Amino acid sequence: MAVTGIGGVFFRAENPEALLEWYRVRLGVVMEGYAPWAQAAGPTVFMPFAADTGYWPAGKQWMMNFRVSDLDALLADLAKAGVTAETNPDWDTPETGRFARIHDPEGNPIELWEPPAE
């Protein structure tokens, strides 16, 4: 029997409640107690990287990637809130879509991904 999807993402935090609130306010990831966040259907990439990857900071073991439907609007909202985003035209392709990078208040890397239009 094969798995049917990602059931959760769990990680350590210095201040879990404050960090969860940041994800709710800034990215719309809403958790009510342990009730699951109902995300939109779509592709999920599950990919281990080499231990020495330069794709995200060396001091972090993981990087979250969130699918978004309007990267420009989200980046504008984040900028208004003082969240710095990094973009690079070399990251974007017609086959894979568009990308931006931000960090949460505890320095965890987050990739924002707008898949290509169908």
Q: Does the pLDDT at position 101 exceed 80?
A: yes
Q: Tokens representing 29?
A: 């990831």
pLDDT confidence of residue 35 = 78
The share of the chain scoring above pLDDT 70, in percent, equals 99
What digits encode the pLDDT tens for the residues 16-33?
Answer: 999 999 999 999 998 877
Taking residues 69-77, report their average pLDDT. Answer: 95
Question: What CATH number should be reported for the domain whose range is 65-118?
Answer: 3.10.180.10
